[in-house]
Amino acid sequence: MDGLINVSDFVDYMKNEGLVLVKKQEAENIAMFKEAKMAELRSHLRRKKTLKFSEIAKGGFFGVYTRKGVEYVVKNMLSENEYFKSGAGKQDPILVLTSAVVRISKLKGIIYE
């Protein structure tokens, strides 16, 4: 019969790929836990006056999770008075006002308040 697979082959494949079978409710609980941790991180970061690109990416404020993605959003959606270089050196990070980050996050539907 076509379409049938050997159970032991399937289990071996799952082990090799690092896959597991879980109940739907357990998967939803894991997703809720991750979202709660992300909300906690965002809450912590929102207490700061300015944020670095890496912090914005870590918090997923713009829906992007890379420094380059955050840089693109900052350069295209924020005015020049909402971000600045922290020093005169080449390696000094660019800081973004937290109020501007929250504003853009609300526009993108990431933060609901």
| Structural domain spans, the chain | 7-108
Contact 92, 50 (CB under 8 A): no
Q: Is the pLDDT of residue 2 over 80?
A: no
Average pLDDT score, the chain: 89
Confidence of residue 52 (pLDDT cuts 50, 70, 90): very high
Length, in residues, of the chain: 113
The predicted pLDDT at position 112 comes to 67
List residues bridging with 96 in a β-sheet: 51, 83
Helix (H, G, I), strand (E, B) or coil at 83: strand
The answer to whether 72 and 45 have CB atoms below 8 angstroms apart is no
Task: Give the residue-averaged pLDDT of 86-112.
Answer: 87
